Amino acid sequence: MIKKLIVTKGGNKLNLNLENKIAIITGGSDGIGKETARIMSEEGAKVSIFARNLENLEKTKSELESLTSKKIDIYSVDVRDQKSIKTAVDQVINKNKKIDILVNNAGTSSAHPIMDITDEIMSDDIGTKLYGAIYMIQAVVPSMKKNGNGSIVNITTPGGKASGAKTVPTSVSRAAGISLTKATANELSEFNIRVNTVCVGLFKSGQHRKRYEEIIKTDKNLTIDEFYNDLGKNVPLGNRVGEAEEAASLITYLSSSQASYISGTAINVDGGASPVV
């Protein structure tokens, strides 16, 4: 029986029945990934976060466990390293016996003019966003097949559908991620494994905070609120930048049984900013 989606003020509590679901979130130590980990944990899932920086992981673990009163497992993993991924995923399976949910969220924006692109820039971006997602999918699918179901959510951007100028390699990697979503959704449907992508627009995140920190080196009077207000001024819905939980709530919903008939789709979460649906 499909339950009604409920959002309550204050805690943004959803009623998604993720009790005893085992979830892995890559890039989960900050921003949308971190908020997804929080919401999934509050919904009852047992969450493992994969990220490179152990110090950031430990800080996130402490914060989330304090907020949710639930245990969060962390793994220092570079998603470009297939062997390390396999080892970490096997550890999650050995501890929890299965994997139900994968959120591929690793990677930040890397946008350059085409004439500035180097092999290093290109390979690093594709390695993290595309190969990393492929390696993670390959690692978790055997467990999902054994379960008889599973949900995979790839995080991309609307730029993967409609690329702007000077957005390589990000737009290329994101377009590939959207294509990967459709191909794997079609392939894995016979095993009741759903695959979707959430295309995120402008959100408050670590990469924008770093940009702000660079700006205030020369413009010391600029506040973080002023920075975000300027960043979101052209977004049709509210002329604002999104909050991480606004993307994380959708990611969590798509990971749940309430989205049992949704697969192979790419949903924009960008305040209506993208020129394409």
* Residue bearing tokens 């979460």: 269
Percent of the chain with pLDDT over 90: 91
CATH 3.50.50.60 fits 22-202+243-269, yes or no: no
Mean pLDDT of the chain: 94
Tokens of 154: 């790839």
Residue 255 is predicted with a pLDDT of 99
Its pTM stands at 0.93
Using the predicted structure, report yes or no on whether residue 156 has a pLDDT greater than 50: yes
Residue 5 is predicted with a pLDDT of 39
Give one DSSP letter per residue of the chain, joined into a string. Answer: -PPPP---TTT-------TT-EEEEETTTSHHHHHHHHHHHHTT-EEEEEES-HHHHHHHHHHHHHHHSS-EEEEE--TT-HHHHHHHHHHHHHHHS---EEEE------EE-GGG--HHHHHHHHIIIIIHHHHHHHHHHHHHHHHT-EEEEEEE-GGGTS--TT-EEHHHHHHHHHHHHHHHHHHHGGGTEEEEEEEE-SB--HHHHHHHHHHTTT-TT--HHHHHHHHTTT-TTTTSPBPHHHHHHHHHHHHSGGGTT--S-EEEESTT-SS--
Using the predicted structure, report yes or no on whether residue 238 has a pLDDT greater than 50: yes
Residue 117 is predicted with a pLDDT of 97
Q: Which amino acid is located at 83 in the chain?
A: K
Hey, where are the domains in the chain?
Answer: 22-202+243-269, 204-241
Q: What is the mean pLDDT of residues 3-26?
A: 71
Q: What is the pLDDT of residues 177-225, one digit of tens each?
A: 999 999 999 999 999 999 999 999 999 988 899 899 999 999 999 999 9
Residue 12 is predicted with a pLDDT of 56
